[in-house]
């Protein structure tokens, strides 16, 4: 039986693999194969497939049958091609061994260089190069790398031996005094030989076996080391953190490559380069070069490299070779590439190519310019942008000039990175303190155990928000995301003492008014006030987003509760409001919250109506402002949704104050608040259930909406109010309430001497309960539109409380633990379950009203995969927080391109 | 255009209507028509259809076009047939006017008799009968009835005039002293004439118009009165309470009938009868007869009627006539009938026939005996039984010998009648006090604000349970129903002071140890200890249920958590356990609850395992007992389901005690309990989510189940454990957990040297979250069975918390308010929404495993319509609490009959 092909050769101008085989060969292996194929100077070698690695694991860390033979055969082929032999005493072949998985994985094994060095071949290399220092330095490096990288011994132990050697033997020879430095280059060949003996001795002492002399043993040990590094804790952690599924990447490839040396004098050197500037995207060759050095020296930062322009000056020939390579690679890959190369005595060798990582700004510039250059199409450019690219364009960041060590020293803990960007300022623990401090011009960080609608004022005043509990869809996260405000949640190490106005993280105490810096990209919390840099939109952003808008087929709206949000959203490209929550307005001023509380505490309809009358002018004014801001665009307004207990004070003082204000007994207030308690508020008396019980609340809100609409319409503003009834679960609810809304709206239009032509309002409902989706054909009879509230729909469909899921959901999305879901279903729509109900709801709704307008207004409306799902499901629009609007536009375009 | 037919004539041996037209003619109208058609002596007349009434309302209380003409035409026909004329001065026709809807509705209008009486016709009647007293008495009665019934004037006012008249004018004539009684019969014709003038004067004074003399005005007024009574508050309330939908009964019929008189001497009389004994069901004519009296006299109870046997003695001819009528009616209606009749001077007239109401015992006897008599088939007998008939057979009731007044005086309030039956005993306010008192032999009533699993011991010890909060599916109701224990919940007037050990209802205080009686049928709460009578099953019950079992196609299991429950359920006909909840077992003794608390408070796996080891022997013993009790039948055991915070003490004392017992700090216990708090526990860390986080709990439970099964199997018991994993929402959860269960079960079988042949266990899951139903095809891959947990499925599908819905659900099921649902969806399965998911779940599950065993274990499994739905949906079995098993059997049989 023929065994599987586990090894792919490259060299002599052609390779067995191609760049298409990235999954099989790993990124590095595919790059080496492809570069060989397109005629670039790649040192010959061969790649062990990722499959070899996965079979190594499935066989309990044993090489699969046939692998050994194939390695030997390919090594023989390599020896034949190079005319050298591994371990040869005259002219030894030396090779490097590198890992390389399908996706780049920093946690994995570093390179082993100079494999093939042993007590014989070091002499051969000395003879061949006439340079004992070079040969023994190579041997010394190999022993140290093999010991640490392949055998997992402490690197510091071997480095320590080297240092000790330099400061004793070498320093003595040089007559240096204690404390004076000795450079690596001060060490002679003979001394390095002596050092190699010391290192081998240390190796033997630590391992219990002598340092392997047989090159095949060295190779086998190195390959095993690469295989084993795949399951090393840091690699596993990296995959988990980056949500790289084990089923997607089954193992690492192993690349064995002929050694080339950049440290053979001034005509040698080594470099890393990007085909374009990765920071700005500018179309110019960008990189660093180190004369007379090996690649690891560049990485180690032992000497300061020069810019490539310096190479151009000093070695024009090599530079031109490199420029030709650059062109060839960009023409082939049609993308900016990240290269590693070595020049050995004037000859260029390419060691690696891969897609170059780049700053968000550069992503846009490169994509747009490559379209201009005819390298890629507009569609391809659009498909290259990721949500992260967009998101990071808009947020401030901690100044990159700050030393990494300073940041590391200041790090307190890491929470959940709910909203990206960075924020620095002074800590306050209550919304009111935050507001007061902000009013005096201070930059404020609001720190809370958790946030609630009462905190919204303080949250708005703050630069950044930090909470102890909650996940990416907690109240804090959702509200902060709406404002694009840096937010870190679920910061479990945080302890807050509200009474003493201080917080503690792992023993470090920070008092009110002391400073803190948050990095919303990483979730890191730093003590102190670090400088931030503001974002700047590249001019290419607009061009690319214009292509996006031309390509997409669905509208993108925004979730916005104020005129300011609305304006911001229009800047971000929103084409309407998909969700205007009215309850936040109640917290805006003390008058308002007093009125709503009076309404709630009232025990009869008349008193409720009296209190509601106080609220009416406020809401009407808010709506007027929003309608003006959204002139000509639809504004979808959701009637009151949260349970009433969210609005009332739960502390004694607050209740006493309220009793005094309304002029009733404290006991009455206390009693009423207690009555409002719910076991499961998520499934309680809220949404349209409130409007059924207290229709006067709906009346006030509809009046505010319609009177505002009439007023602005009379001033020439084009206004399209969409009145949305939340939490419908049955046809009859919507029948009752939509009738009531329509009757009242008609009456108000008549009062104002206007018609529906002037104010073409519509009435519809949220679909956010499974039963609503299941009976959407009946509900649609009374609705002009549906808006899928996928936050609540996810909670009910999964039986999963967003506020409580923190206890087990992390395990559920952790592949190494339960691995039930690939992502947090509150961030990425659960297409299999919740999505199924969305599809049922759309199908049933349209079966009755084929032109029913349908959108989404949950958090998912700003997430790439979820938006794409919505497009496929046939929605007319998606809606998300202002800062996510460009992402939604992008997602919609990408799905439109896929659909072509 | 021909107008609709609004009026149906009957008389002269034939009728325009039939008994099939009950919906159109109302029950009474259809009965009169049918009796006429089958040749019974019915006084001729005509019926206005229920449609006439509903059109009267749709036209804003105006007669529909054509009605007047049809009434006039039918009246003319009646006058022709009888040879008399309404209002005639010589031989006046007198008629009665009665309401009669599709369903019997006690709240509606009473009868108006003697219509046609006026100042002329009273003379005519006097002349024709030669009896002025008779004529004026008829006139007097008509005036009083018309005034009160048609015009809504106070009946007492007119009765008062009559009394005053008797005690002044008549008493004076008779020379009676003050305080001595004057009978109606003491009043002479002349005096009655005088009285009529007084009454007419009073009428004119109160109405502002003179008493109508034109018979057509009288008729019109009376018909309007009947129509209007349809929307009178008491009728509307009655329909609401009885859940009679307005769409089902659109209005009342109006029956106009020639008057016949039972008060024309000793050869006249009037009676009511049942064709069989309504209390026992015995096949003998049963009823009361009043010589020389009108029907209203029977109702008013002025004189004591005699049994029909007396009539047989005194007027054999009439009695034989009646017997013939009885046979004819039973042969025609094939059911026990309730009759009203009048004998006028030896001639029998039938005034009404309808299905006779009967005691539950009688229902069974009549149904079974009618099968024996060949009147009906077994299927028809089965279809005649209602769930109420069964339910009431099993429960004690307050002794019917107790005077109604005594009960009324003792009534404190009325709560929600959660579980029928009655209970009397001494009040205790804590579970432990209840248990202690019961242990000394006292009959105990447990009164709580609400109950929790910790109260289960006290609930079991109590005869009856009364709670302030909660609905029919609250913890108290569900647990009590399981035991068939009288339970009243949602008793809002109740206030409990736990500290002072007393309760107050509307000002009446009852202290611990004082007595209370509960009527679970009505929800009434009585002060004092009333005697109860125990139920006795009629021998016909077993025969009928044997037909039921032969007819039905699905199995009926029970929800039972103990061996006692299991035994009870088998008595009730259960064929297995459909849901054995394991968590109640944890509360059984202090040792157990201590161990589970220790497990919960533990902060590491080892400590948890240690605590769980203490629980293992308890659970194993429980399962052994249950397996033995259910020998040969399947036992479905659900692994732990509730969130852990339900098990821990939330009060300081309890937490301190626990800390002491475990030997850790109070603060640690307090902290851990706080950590367990959830915002929405219903959607929180419970069900299989616990098993994912703490697999050691699952391990202990599976071990207890399997070791118990092995032990009893080795003793020759046939054991079929079904291990059920709750709250699955995703395939992967069940994959992980079912694998774990199967591996452990296999290992335990091996330990015990048994195989799956000895203990044929299966592993399956609850489907109780929408996502589970929607992805049932994937979940089914890992399941041997599905059990629909429709309690939770209702909560999640509707986004409706059972514990909080009390605030608005009453309005939702109230047709006069929101009318969103016909019934409480926690009692009657919401087929449109939840049922849709059940169907999807079954279809998807069976698409993968065509023979997948499927059942239901929610509260709905014991409700008629829900069980019928389950049968139609293709389930293999339903499961319900022991006392509901016969209802489920009945429902299953009725559906099987419908399917034929």
What would the pLDDT profile of B575-634 be if each residue is shown by its tens digit?
Answer: 999 999 998 888 888 889 999 999 999 988 899 999 999 999 999 999 999 999 999 999
Contact B795 A836 (CB under 8 A): no
Cα dihedral angle (A872, A877, A879, A882), rounded to 10 degrees?
110
Q: Count CA within 13 A, CB hemisphere, residue B73.
A: 11
Furthest-apart CA atoms within chain A: distance in Å: 105
Mean pLDDT lowest for which of B33-42, B105-114, B366-375, B651-660? B105-114
Contact B833 A771 (CB under 8 A): yes
Q: Count CA within 13 A, CB hemisphere, residue B881.
A: 16
Task: From chain B, pick out residues whose CB is under 8 angstroms from the CB of A770.
Answer: 770, 796-799, 833, 837
Does residue B807 surpass a pLDDT of 80? no
A683 part of contact set with chain B, CB < 8 Å: yes
Residue B368 is predicted with a pLDDT of 97
What would the pLDDT profile of A678-707 be if each residue is shown by its tens digit?
Answer: 999 999 999 999 999 999 999 999 999 999
**CA atoms of A396 and B202, how far apart (whole Å):** 90
Residue A86 is predicted with a pLDDT of 92
What would the pLDDT profile of B290-306 be if each residue is shown by its tens digit?
Answer: 888 887 766 555 567 78
Kind and range of the H or E run holding B578 = strand B577-581
- What's the alpha-carbon Rg for chain A, to the nearest Å? 33
The CA-based angle B869-B871-B872, given to 5 degrees, is 65
What would the pLDDT profile of A264-281 be if each residue is shown by its tens digit?
Answer: 888 899 988 999 998 889
In sign, the C-alpha dihedral spanning B466, B472, B473, B479 is positive
- Of residues A450 and A6, the one with the higher pLDDT is A6
A714 part of contact set with chain B, CB < 8 Å: no
B245 part of contact set with chain A, CB < 8 Å: no
**How large is the average pLDDT for residues A713-724?**
97
Q: What share of chain A is helix, strand, coil (3-state, %, to 5)?
A: 50, 15, 35
Active-site residue numbers of B? 475, 857
Sort A147 into a burial class: Cβ within 10 Å, 0-12 / 13-18 / 19+: buried
Residue A236 pLDDT grade (very low, low, confident, very high; cuts 50, 70, 90): confident
A649 part of contact set with chain B, CB < 8 Å: no
Minimal C-alpha gap between A97 and chain B (Å): 39
What would the pLDDT profile of A778-821 be if each residue is shown by its tens digit?
Answer: 999 999 999 999 999 999 999 999 888 877 887 888 766 788 99
Does residue B900 surpass a pLDDT of 90? no
Cα dihedral angle (A77, A82, A86, A91), rounded to 10 degrees?
150
Residue A234 pLDDT grade (very low, low, confident, very high; cuts 50, 70, 90): confident
Per-residue H/E/C for A603-644: CCHHHHHHHHHHHHHHHHHHHHHHHHHCCCCEEEEECCCCCH
Distance from the first to the final alpha carbon of chain A: 44
Sheet holding B112-115, edge to edge: B14-15, B7-11, B45-48, B252-258, B95-101, B112-115
Residue B420 is predicted with a pLDDT of 85
**CA atoms of A891 and A865, how far apart (whole Å):** 7
Q: Which of A460, A475, A782, A860 is catalytic?
A: A475
- B781 alpha carbon, distance to own chain's centre: 41
Residue B379, classed as helix, strand or coil, is: helix
Query: How many CB pairs below 8 Å do chains A and B form together?
Result: 169
Report ipTM for this prediction.
Answer: 0.80
Residue B815 pLDDT grade (very low, low, confident, very high; cuts 50, 70, 90): low
Does residue A181 surpass a pLDDT of 90? no
Does residue A315 surpass a pLDDT of 80? yes
What would the pLDDT profile of A617-633 be if each residue is shown by its tens digit?
Answer: 999 999 999 999 999 99
Q: Which residues of A488-523 are buried (b: 16+ CB within 10 A; e: fewer)?
A: bbbbeebebeeeeebbebeeeebebeebbbbbbbeb
Tokens 């917080």 identify what position? A503
Residue B789 is predicted with a pLDDT of 97
Nearest CA in chain B to A693: B808
Does residue B32 surpass a pLDDT of 90? yes
Q: Are B708 and B745 in contact (CB under 8 A)?
A: no
Residue B897 is predicted with a pLDDT of 97
Distance from the first to the final alpha carbon of chain B: 44
In sign, the C-alpha dihedral spanning B823, B826, B829, B832 is positive
Residue B455 pLDDT grade (very low, low, confident, very high; cuts 50, 70, 90): confident
Residue A473 is predicted with a pLDDT of 62
Task: From chain A, pick out residues whose CB is under 8 angstroms from the CB of B795.
Answer: 683
Q: Which of A683, A768, A807 is facing B804, going by the closest CB pair?
A: A683
Kind and range of the H or E run holding A446 = strand A444-448
The CA-based angle B849-B851-B853, given to 5 degrees, is 100
Q: Are A868 and A828 in contact (CB under 8 A)?
A: no
Mean per-residue pLDDT over chain B, rounded: 91
Which range has highest mean pLDDT (A456-465, A530-539, A633-642)?
A633-642
DSSP state string for A263-276? -SSTT-EEEEEESS
Residue A587 pLDDT grade (very low, low, confident, very high; cuts 50, 70, 90): confident
What predicted TM-score, i.e. pTM, was given to this entire model? 0.81
Q: Which of A196, A857, A870, A880 is catalytic?
A: A857
Contact A818 B682 (CB under 8 A): no
Q: Are A568 and A460 in contact (CB under 8 A)?
A: no
**CA atoms of B312 and B323, how far apart (whole Å):** 10
Minimal C-alpha gap between B863 and chain A (Å): 21
Residue A185 is predicted with a pLDDT of 81
**CA atoms of A436 and A438, how far apart (whole Å):** 5
Contact A774 B678 (CB under 8 A): no
**How large is the average pLDDT for residues A78-86?**
94
Q: Are A213 and A198 in contact (CB under 8 A)?
A: no
Does residue B245 surpass a pLDDT of 90? no
Residue A242 pLDDT grade (very low, low, confident, very high; cuts 50, 70, 90): low
**CA atoms of B676 and A808, how far apart (whole Å):** 12
CB within 8 Å of A207: residues ≥ 6 apart: A151, A153
Residue A283 is predicted with a pLDDT of 95
Does residue B154 surpass a pLDDT of 90? no
Residue A217 is predicted with a pLDDT of 95
Residue A480 pLDDT grade (very low, low, confident, very high; cuts 50, 70, 90): confident
Residue A302 pLDDT grade (very low, low, confident, very high; cuts 50, 70, 90): low
**How large is the average pLDDT for residues B362-372?**
96
Residue B2 is predicted with a pLDDT of 64
Minimal C-alpha gap between A473 and chain B (Å): 15
Contact A682 B683 (CB under 8 A): yes
B821 part of contact set with chain A, CB < 8 Å: yes
Determine what percent of chain A is predicted with pLDDT higher than 90.
Answer: 71
Residue B691, classed as helix, strand or coil, is: helix
Minimal C-alpha gap between A820 and chain B (Å): 5
Residue B103 is predicted with a pLDDT of 84
Q: Which of B801, B820, B836 is facing A774, going by the closest CB pair?
A: B836
**How large is the average pLDDT for residues B646-650?**
92
The residues pairing with B785 across neighbouring beta strands, listed in sequence order, are B853
A819 part of contact set with chain B, CB < 8 Å: yes
């Amino acid at each position: 039986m023929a065994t599987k092909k586990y090894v792919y050769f490259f060299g002599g101008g052609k390779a067995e693999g191609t760049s298409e085989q990235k999954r099989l060969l790993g990124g590095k292996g595919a790059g080496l194969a492809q570069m060989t194929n397109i005629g670039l100077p790649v040192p010959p070698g061969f790649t062990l497939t990722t499959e070899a690695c996965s079979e190594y694991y499935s066989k309990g860390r044993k090489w699969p049958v046939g692998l050994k033979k194939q390695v030997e055969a390919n090594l023989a082929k390599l020896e034949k091609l190079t005319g050298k032999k591994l371990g040869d005493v005259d002219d030894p072949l030396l090779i490097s061994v590198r890992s390389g998985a399908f996706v780049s994985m920093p946690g994995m094994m570093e390179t082993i260089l100079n494999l093939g060095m042993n007590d014989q071949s070091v002499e051969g290399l000395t003879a061949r190069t006439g340079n004992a220092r070079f040969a023994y330095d190579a041997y010394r490096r190999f022993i140290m790398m093999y010991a640490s990288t392949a055998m997992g011994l402490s690197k510091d132990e071997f480095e320590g031996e080297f240092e000790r050697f330099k400061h004793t033997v070498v320093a003595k020879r040089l007559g240096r005094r204690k404390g004076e430095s000795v450079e690596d280059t001060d060490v002679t060949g003979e001394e390095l030989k002596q050092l190699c003996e010391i290192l081998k001795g240390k190796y033997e002492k630590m391992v219990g076996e002598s340092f392997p002399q047989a090159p095949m043993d060295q190779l086998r040990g190195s390959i095993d080391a690469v295989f084993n590094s795949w399951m090393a804790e840091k690699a596993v952690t990296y995959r988990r953190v980056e949500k790289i599924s084990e089923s997607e990447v089954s193992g690492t490839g192993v690349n064995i490559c002929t050694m080339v040396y950049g440290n053979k004098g001034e005509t040698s050197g080594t470099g890393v380069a990007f085909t374009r500037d990765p920071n700005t995207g500018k179309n110019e060759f960008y990189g660093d070069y180190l004369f007379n050095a090996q690649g690891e020296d560049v990485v180690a930062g032992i000497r300061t490299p020069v810019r490539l322009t310096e190479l151009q000056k000093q070695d024009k020939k090599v530079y031109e070779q490199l420029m030709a390579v650059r062109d060839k690679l960009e023409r082939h890959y049609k993308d900016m590439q990240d290269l590693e190369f070595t020049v050995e005595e004037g000859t260029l060798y390419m060691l690696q190519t891969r897609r170059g990582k780049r700053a968000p700004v550069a992503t846009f510039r490169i994509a747009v310019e490559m379209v201009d250059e005819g390298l890629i199409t507009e569609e391809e450019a659009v498909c290259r942008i990721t949500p992260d690219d967009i998101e990071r364009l808009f947020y401030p960041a901690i100044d990159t000039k700050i030393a990494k060590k300073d940041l590391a020293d200041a790090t307190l803990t890491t929470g959940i990175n709910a909203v990206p960007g960075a924020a620095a300022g002074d800590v306050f623990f209550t919304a009111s303190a935050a507001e007061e401090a902000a009013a005096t011009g201070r930059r404020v960080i609001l720190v809370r155990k958790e946030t609630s609608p009462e905190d919204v004022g303080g949250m708005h005043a703050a630069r950044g928000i930090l909470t102890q509990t909650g996940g990416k869809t907690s109240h804090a996260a959702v509200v902060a995301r709406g404002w694009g405000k840096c937010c870190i949640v679920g910061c479990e190490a945080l302890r807050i003492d509200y009474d003493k106005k201080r917080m503690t993280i792992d023993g470090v105490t920070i008092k009110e008014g002391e400073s803190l810096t948050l990095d919303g990209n990483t979730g890191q919390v730093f003590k102190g006030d670090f400088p931030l840099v503001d974002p700047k939109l590249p001019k290419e952003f607009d061009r690319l987003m214009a292509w996006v808008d031309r390509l997409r087929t669905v509208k993108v709206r925004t979730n916005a509760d104020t005129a300011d949000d609305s304006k911001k959203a229009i800047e971000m490209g929103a084409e309407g409001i998909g969700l205007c929550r009215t309850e936040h307005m109640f917290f805006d001023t003390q008058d308002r919250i007093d009125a709503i509380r009076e309404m709630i505490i009232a025990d009869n309809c008349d008193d409720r109506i009296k209190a509601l009358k106080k609220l009416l002018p406020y809401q009407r004014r808010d709506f007027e402002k929003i309608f003006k801001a959204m002139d000509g665009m639809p504004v979808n307004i959701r009637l009151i949704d949260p349970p009433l207990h969210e609005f009332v004070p739960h502390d004694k003082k607050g209740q006493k104050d309220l009793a005094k204000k309304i002029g009733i007994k404290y006991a009455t207030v206390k009693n009423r608040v207690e009555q409002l308690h719910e076991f499961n508020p998520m499934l309680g008396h809220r949404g349209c259930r409130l409007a059924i019980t207290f229709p006067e609340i709906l009346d006030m809100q509809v009046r505010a909406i319609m009177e505002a609409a009439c007023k602005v319409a009379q001033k020439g503003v084009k206004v399209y109010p969409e009145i949305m009834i939340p939490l419908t679960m049955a046809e009859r609810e919507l029948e009752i309430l939509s009738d009531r809304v329509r009757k009242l709206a008609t009456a108000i239009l008549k009062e104002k001497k206007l018609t529906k032509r002037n104010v073409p309002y519509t009435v519809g409902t949220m679909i956010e309960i499974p039963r609503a989706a299941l009976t959407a054909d009946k509900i649609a009879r009374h609705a002009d539109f549906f808006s899928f509230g996928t936050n609540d729909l996810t909670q009910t469909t999964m039986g999963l409380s967003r506020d409580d899921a923190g206890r087990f959901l992390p395990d559920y999305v952790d592949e190494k633990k339960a691995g039930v879901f690939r992502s947090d279903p509150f961030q990425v729509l659960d297409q299999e379950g919740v999505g199924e109900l969305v599809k049922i709801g759309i199908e049933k709704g349209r079966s009755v009203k084929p032109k029913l307008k349908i959108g989404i207004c949950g958090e998912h409306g700003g997430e790439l995969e979820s938006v794409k799902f919505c497009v496929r499901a046939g929605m007319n629009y998606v809606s998300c927080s202002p800062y996510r609007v460009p992402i939604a536009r992008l997602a919609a375009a990408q799905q439109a391109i896929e659909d072509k």
